[in-house]
Amino acid sequence: MTSCRICGGRLHEFGDFGTQPLSSGFLEPDYIGDEYFFRLALGVCASCSMVQLMEEVPRHLMFNGHYPYLSSGSSVMRKHFERTARRFLETELTSPDHFAVELGCNDGIMLKTLAEAGVRHLGVEPSKSVADIARRLGIRVATEFFQESTANEIRETEGPAQLIYAANTVCHIPYLDSIFRGVDALLATDGVFVFEDPYLADIIEKTAYDQVYDEHFYFFSVTSVAAMAKRFGFELVDAERLPVHGGEVRYTIAREGRRTPAPSVAELLAREETAQLTHLDTLKTFFRNVEQSRDDLVTLLKKLRAEGRSVVGYGATAKSATVANYCGVGPDLVSFVSDTTPNKQGRLTPGSHIPVRPREAFEDPYPDYALLFAWNHAEEIIAKETRFREAGGRWILYIPHVHVV
Ligand code: SAH
Ligand code: TMP
Ligand code: ZN
């Protein structure tokens, strides 16, 4: 693709991670067939400044009945989404007949609180594996991709929604024109469309290149989201930085002229302008830092192997597919990856073919080093794995640069 998926403008490519597999395509250990590969590369639009992937992976290959990712695997995220839901109950969902829709509700981590409060709600979640878990909690879920046609059907049967919410989902969706037409059809006149996703400024500052993988199609900034909202007849009325998943922004979008924009929108726009966040030179510098980070990690892992140290991975994240495949890290450098997700355990990581084992394997016995692929949950994980440190173990982190703690 050479043109912007939002506005059709010219895309300037600034980083190439080579061929990559599906980030959640964990393989059975005896699998001998071909894996799906695509070219993972980044570009920025010269017109609207949206940073995006150069190539799109068909959505049904990623989001289907085998999608393994469970949002509720982190206690910090469970608290984050409970707080989020409680705030919506105070600000947007104030009347008993209000209606809330969540795109990508996954296992129900956020809607659970709304359902328990008796709020009329609907999750739209195409991955049946996780939608079924939410349904078992008493949450209403449509196993579908949200798009214009889905929105029209929901509007016909349920009426308008005061709140349309999505966490870590809008950046997964290349066809945002259809999403915004759907929001236009479904959102109440004074309703809001709220979404939160990894923030480009945090990705650049932390050289968090592993945020780039098949599912993450867009890398939002306040600048690009404000332009996108305007293009589709809406207005960005709030932008709030969040500490979760390595740094995100929560965007609140309303119909044009319906809400007074919060001061944070202008503040963050000015800050991005000063930092030249979406300028090609800034992005090229980011990618030089990515290459340095890769070289440092490979050097460290090879040195540890030469010294006969044991190294395992912690967290078979989707993000780690980019690290393992871009850096060429396989079972020779990292003997296995420990992960709590049942549908990842007993399988091999995509492309790099490192075995995934349950958490129990991590302490049986503790390794010399653990490569923290789930660095976005570092505080939670390091706090609960104190015995690993006491046993002499050390964490390897590659965010914001390669270091050992
Ligand atoms: N909101 C959760 C899940 C994020 S993972 C959290 O923040 O933890 C992204 C989710 O978006 C997946 O469960 C995927 O199935 C879903 N998804 C992908 N495309 C979608 C679409 N078009 N409409 C709704 N959900 C979608
Ligand atoms: P995420 O970074 O996309 O949220 O994925 C985190 C992955 O790490 C997920 O596969 C679950 C796993 N995990 C653990 O194995 N142990 C933990 O304590 C946490 C928080 C996550
Ligand atoms: Zn554009």
Q: Which of 40, 81, 42, 36 is nearest to 60 (CA)?
A: 36
Mutating to test ligand 2, I would choose from 339, 345, 362, 379 the residue with most ligand atoms within 8 A of its C-beta, which is 339
Q: How close are the terminal C-alpha atoms of the chain, in Å?
A: 41
Contact 373, 321 (CB under 8 A): no
Residues of the chain with CATH 3.40.50.720: 282-404
Distance CA 128, CA 110 (A): 17
User: Which ligand is nearest to the Cα of residue 176, counting in written order?
Assistant: 1
Distance CA 135, CA 342 (A): 19
SS3 63: coil
Here the tokens at position 198 are 């990894």
- pLDDT at position 2, please? 85
User: Which ligand is nearest to the Cα of residue 72, counting in written order?
Assistant: 1
Residues of the chain with CATH 3.40.50.150: 71-275
Q: Which of 332, 298, 353, 371 is nearest to 31 (CA)?
A: 353
CATH of span 71-275: 3.40.50.150
Q: Cβ-count burial of 38 within 10 angstroms (0-12 exposed, 13-18 middle, 19+ buried)?
A: middle
User: Which ligand is nearest to the Cα of residue 129, counting in written order?
Assistant: 1
**In angstroms, how far apart are the furthest CA atoms of the chain?**
65
Half-sphere exposure of 324 (CA within 13 A, CB side): 32
- Check whether domain 282-404 has CATH 3.90.1170.50, yes or no: no
Distance CA 355, CA 347 (A): 6
Q: Cβ-count burial of 354 within 10 angstroms (0-12 exposed, 13-18 middle, 19+ buried)?
A: buried
Distance CA 93, CA 87 (A): 9
Distance CA 131, CA 123 (A): 8
Mutating to test ligand 1, I would choose from 60, 64, 169 the residue with most ligand atoms within 8 A of its C-beta, which is 169
- DSSP single-letter state for residue 285: H
- pTM score above 0.95: yes
- pLDDT at position 230, please? 98
Residue 11 Cα to ligand 3 middle (Å): 8
Reading the chain (405 residues) residue by residue, the pLDDT tens digits are: 689 999 999 999 999 999 999 999 999 998 888 999 999 999 999 999 999 999 999 999 999 999 999 999 999 999 999 999 999 999 999 998 899 999 999 999 999 999 999 999 999 999 999 999 999 999 999 999 999 999 999 999 999 999 999 999 999 999 999 999 999 999 999 999 999 999 999 999 999 999 999 999 999 999 999 999 999 999 999 999 999 999 999 999 999 999 999 999 999 999 999 999 999 999 999 999 999 999 999 999 999 999 999 999 999 999 999 999 999 999 999 999 999 999 999 999 999 999 999 999 999 999 999 999 999 999 999 999 999 999 999 999 999 999 999
Q: Give the CA distances from residue 375 to residues 211, 315, 324, 325, in Å, rounded to whole numbers and listed in that order.
A: 11, 9, 14, 17
- pLDDT at position 102, please? 99
Q: Is the CB of 380 under 6 A from ligand 2?
A: yes
As beta bridge partners, residue 235 has 254
